[in-house]
Amino acid sequence: MRERYYIEEIGRHVDREVTLEGWLAGKRSSGKILFLQLRDGTGFIQCVASRADVGDETFAAADELSIESSLRVTGTVHADARAPSGYELSVAGIEIVHAADEYPISRKEHGTAFLMDNRHLWIRSSRQFAILRIRAAVIVAARRYFDSRGYTLVDTPILTPNAVEGTTTLFETKYFDESAYLTQSGQLYNEATAMALGKVYCFGPALRAEKSKTRRHLIEFWQIEPEIAYADLEDIMDIQEELVAELIRHVLETRAPELAILERDTEALAKAAPPFPRLSYTEAVKRLNEAGHAFEWGEDFGAEDETVLSKLFETPILVHRYPRMVKPFYMEDDPDDESVTLSVDMLAPEGYGEIVGGGQRAMDAERLERRMREEGMPVDEYQWYLDLRRFGSVPHGGFGMGIERFVTWVCGLPHIRETIAFPRMLSRLRP
Amino acid sequence: MRERYYIEEIGRHVDREVTLEGWLAGKRSSGKILFLQLRDGTGFIQCVASRADVGDETFAAADELSIESSLRVTGTVHADARAPSGYELSVAGIEIVHAADEYPISRKEHGTAFLMDNRHLWIRSSRQFAILRIRAAVIVAARRYFDSRGYTLVDTPILTPNAVEGTTTLFETKYFDESAYLTQSGQLYNEATAMALGKVYCFGPALRAEKSKTRRHLIEFWQIEPEIAYADLEDIMDIQEELVAELIRHVLETRAPELAILERDTEALAKAAPPFPRLSYTEAVKRLNEAGHAFEWGEDFGAEDETVLSKLFETPILVHRYPRMVKPFYMEDDPDDESVTLSVDMLAPEGYGEIVGGGQRAMDAERLERRMREEGMPVDEYQWYLDLRRFGSVPHGGFGMGIERFVTWVCGLPHIRETIAFPRMLSRLRP
């Protein structure tokens, strides 16, 4: 394969001549010297071209280029402490690959709707570039966490006859002669595969037809969901904590330039180191009330409650043992207090709220079936799920981490919509 | 976190006492000695329990257990060259976690429909275990290939207003006030993100409502799709070859026990080393005809043609430059012969056929738009895609590798349906 040079790795080639292939992100000219901001998808670098070095014709052609024109720039790499990237290119030659039409996105303020309509172009700008690179780093690190600890990735179905968390928010499609629903979670299937493979995780899209327009919701989002056989609530909390700590560490170590582009307060992220406080739902309610926030035991935390609660801490917190009525049917009861479940959610600090939800799963077939009947679920459709408790039932548990919510927090964003390349929202199916 | 022991790593604990947590995969008894086949999702091990060591009560209870009962077995690890796993456990104690109901799957022959109805249990059997572990290894290695080479993972949408490859095989769903389709490929979006991030890949589910019942088709399958800016057909072929070679190497190195369970001919896999022959479509047609197989230039290869062709070679082959009429609108024309495109598919040997498809993409906005109009595509809907050619168009290309087809070949399976935990097929939406 031919050797390629990328801005991200340009520091390896100081004082050597390289050719970079990219796009024009910005430019200014003094008449004799042209400063070209080049981006190649891995970073940004300033390229300095003098009329004397590149010749009148090339100089003039480059000087006229629209933003986002594509070009190959050949030059010598110099270390330059004043440059944002730490390096600069002294240009020997410029090859224009394609002179762009006038670019619709400029430095001036654009409305969100306009930018979202042009999302396919907007992702080229430095902030979006930074967010998408951080997102990718989070996912790579999350997969590595599980891959390196003996978990088996098992992809769970997108099309399913089952409704995991209520039917009102399900997308439905015709599946030949019957109806199918788009998945909202791989968890139930994960429980089956954990019994076959011990420790598993799935990682895929989840789809919720929620008519809510909030800063925290996407119609289409990605979730990593581990499930572990022979695990209890304590194990699940340990794994959540270790995972999130590793992700933060990985982002801080590998995505410093991107965090800088976003002007993210990395001190706040660095503080999010374990151990994370573990408090029961009941204790959390008490803390809320002590902070002067009205909240009654038995309710589910809303976005506002989570914001208040998570602002009381500098690290993520693990809130465990939620009441039965606010958690799904499959949560195991707490043997010490049957009004609560062996559930645990993680709330991110700085007001970001829930990023992880999980717990220990019900182990007894009869009790689980009774609960499903009480909730009016189609028990026939779930016989396979009950089978997991009939043939070698074991204590087990797991959790789901929503990638976009996590990235919203890590990037310090006010809204979740920029954490995925092509967000799907209530009024947004395009591009 | 508490220390856990897994069969996969049991070799680290020879002559030490460990507790394994798993399920009973099989047993036989001599009256005084009980041979328990234990599985824990990472492997299988024989546990030898003598009546004298575990006591009458435990011995009797264990002797009565149904297959797939869950149990914790404590004992000392011994290296034993005769054991399939290389190790054996001398049992000191057995804790029964859950005595299973009589297990529906036995050693006798079951029909495929019965096994598929019990897929949630069938995946516990050794062959299915082996296939799913190999699948996971393939995916981990494929991601690592791209992650370690500076590609950015960008998840592309599942719900889309666009139809990439014809509307007849699309699943449709109501998206609030309009219609959305389930994705069949992330490629078009990949082209946009490649212009923002240089080298990208997506990895997600693809859904095709195809009414075909073949050994090679699933309704729901997973695809890894890289896309590279500033890349031409040669680059794409190089990457395909390097990727597939690395995947084969990784499976041979890390999944030898699983390949042994499947009785896979690993010699055949080891022979699949690069360089892979590269032949044009035109040359491939000639080879087919020379082999006495009727085929006319201009047709698309069917499953049978691919089988004949791929049996002529011991390695995968790269077939490039297919005729315009058998390839999608976005393929770049060959500048040397406009009747063919800069496309390339990889066919696996041993008769398995296509596992990768891709090529170089059309770079010119006007020509691309003309082609879209010729094919009757809704050009308005694709303005964003044309924009990629208006603002810094570059030579670029990529490909898609279908995970299940690849795993079918690697595992040497007669049918694709066992390569995913819960297959979705024409008459199969459950469990």
Considering the domain architecture, whether residues B94 and B196 belong to the same structural domain is answered as no
Query: Cα–Cα distance between A306 and B313 in angstroms, integer?
Result: 61
Whether the complex's predicted ipTM is more than 0.95 is answered with yes
Please list every residue in chain B whose beta carbon sits closer than 8 Å to the beta carbon of residue A175.
171, 209, 219, 429
CB contact under 8 A, B175 and A171: yes
* Domain assignment of residue B296, given as a range: 119-419
**Distance between B386 CA and the closest CA of chain A, angstroms:** 11
Q: Does A1 map to a domain?
A: no
Rounded Cα distance, B235 and B237, in Å: 5
- Helices B383-390 and B187-197: angle between axes, nearest 10 degrees: 30
Please indicate, yes or no, whether residues B400 and B310 belong to a single structural domain of this protein.
Answer: yes
Q: Is residue A48 part of a domain?
A: yes
Give pLDDT tens digits for B299-350.
999 999 999 999 999 999 999 999 999 999 999 999 999 999 999 999 999 9
Based on the fold, state whether residues A63 and A211 are members of the same structural domain. Answer: no
Q: How far is A180 from chain B (nearest CA, A)?
A: 8
Asked if residue A281 and residue A147 are part of one domain, the reply reads: yes
- Is A73 in the same domain as A134? no
Instruction: Give the CATH number for residue A30.
Output: 2.40.50.140
A1 to chain B: closest CA residue: B238
Q: Let me know whether B240 and B137 are in one domain.
A: yes
Within-domain flag for A104: no
Q: Nearest 5 degrees, angle CA B243-CA B246-CA B249?
A: 155
In angstroms, the CA B378 to CA B385 distance is 12
Domain finish residue from B34, B67, B98: B98
Nearest by CB to residue B100, choosing from A21, A390, A421, is: A390
Q: Does an H or E element contain A160, and which?
A: strand A159-160
Q: CB distance B129–A197 less than 8 Å? A: yes
Residue with tokens 């390896």, as numbered in its chain: A12
Distance of CA A203 to the CA centre of its chain: 12
Domains contained in chain B, number? 2
Q: Tell me: do B198 and B247 sit in the same domain.
A: yes
CATH of the domain at B389: 3.30.930.10
Q: Which of A19, A155, A203 best tests the B interface by mutation, with the highest count of B CBs <10 A?
A: A155
Instruction: Specify whether A209 is located in the same domain as A291.
Output: yes
- B45, B66, B98: which is the final residue of a domain? B98
What are the percentages of helix, strand and coil residues in chain A, rounded to 5? 35, 30, 35
Does residue A428 lie in a domain region?
Answer: no
Compute the distance between CA of residue A254 and CA of residue B418 in angstroms, rounded to an integer: 38
Same-domain status, B190 and B274 = yes
Q: Which residue of A has its CA nearest to B222?
A: A155
Say which of A21, A128, A391 has its CB closest to residue B68.
Answer: A391
Measured between beta carbons, which residues in chain A are less than 8 angstroms from residue B1? 235, 238-239, 242
Residues B277 and B410 in one domain: yes
In angstroms, what separates the C-alpha of B266 from chain A's closest C-alpha? 22
**CA-CA distance, A388 to A405, in Å (whole number)?**
31
Q: Do B198 and A41 touch (CB under 8 A)?
A: yes
Q: How many CB atoms lie within 10 A of CB B63?
A: 15
Domain boundary among B98, B129, B149: B98
| Helix, strand, coil percent values for chain B (each to nearest 5) | 35, 30, 35
C-beta atoms of B182 and A192 within 8 A:
no
Which pLDDT tens digit goes with each residue over B33-92?
999 999 999 999 999 999 999 999 999 999 999 999 999 999 999 999 888 789 999 999
pLDDT at residue B211 above 90?
A: no
Task: Tell me the per-residue pLDDT of A376-428, one tens digit each, with 9 for 90 and over.
Answer: 888 999 999 999 999 999 999 999 999 999 999 999 999 999 999 999 999 89
The answer to whether residues A246 and A391 belong to one domain is yes
Find, among B232, B231, B210, B228, the residue nearest to B219 by Cα. Answer: B210
CA angle in degrees (0–180, nearest 5) for B299-B305-B308: 150
State how far residue B48 is from chain A, nearest Cα, in angstroms. Answer: 20
Which residues in A lie closer than 8 A to residue B171 (C-beta atoms)?
A: 159, 173-175
Contact A204 B204 (CB under 8 A): yes
Nearest to A151 by CA among B256, B123, B121, B6: B6
Is residue B132 one of the residues assigned to a domain?
yes
pLDDT digits (tens, 9 = 90+) for B348-357: 999 999 999 9
Q: Let me know: does A263 contact A126? Beta carbons within 8 Å.
A: no
Q: Confidence band (pLDDT; 50, 70, 90) for B212?
A: confident
Does residue B164 have a pLDDT over 60? no
Nearest chain A residue to B404 by CA distance is: A155
**B426 is a domain residue:** no
With contact defined as beta carbons under 8 Å apart, do A56 and A89 qualify? no
Minimal Cα distance from B431: which residue of A?
Answer: A384
Lowest mean pLDDT among A61-65, B160-164, B398-402: B160-164
Pairing mode, strands A87-98 and A199-207: unpaired
β-pair type (A159-160, A178-182): antiparallel
The reply to whether A431 falls in a domain is: no
Q: Which of A109, A104, A140, A141 is nearest to A124 (CA)?
A: A104
Residue A345 lies in a domain: yes
Residue of A nearest to B364 (CA): A98
Q: A83 and A194, same structural domain? A: no
Which chain A residues have a beta carbon less than 8 Å from that of B68?
Answer: 391-392
Q: What is the mean pLDDT of residues B368-385?
A: 93
Count of CB atoms within 10 A of residue A84's CB? 16
The per-residue pLDDT string of chain A (431 residues; one tens digit each, 9 = 90 and over) reads: 778 999 999 999 999 999 999 999 999 998 899 999 999 999 999 999 999 999 999 999 999 999 999 999 999 999 998 887 899 999 999 999 999 999 999 878 899 999 999 999 999 999 999 999 999 999 999 999 999 999 999 999 999 996 555 667 899 999 998 999 999 999 999 999 999 999 999 999 999 998 888 899 999 999 999 999 999 999 999 999 999 999 999 999 999 999 999 999 999 999 999 999 999 999 999 999 999 999 999 999 999 999 999 999 999 999 999 999 999 999 999 999 999 999 999 999 999 999 999 999 999 999 999 999 998 888 999 999 999 999 999 999 999 999 999 999 999 999 999 999 999 999 899 99
For residue B21, list chain A residues with Cβ-Cβ distance below 8 A. 229-230, 394
Sign, CA dihedral B220-B222-B226-B232, equals negative
Other residues' Cβ atoms within 10 Å of the Cβ of residue B26: 15
Q: How many CA atoms lie within 13 A of B116 on its CB side?
A: 15
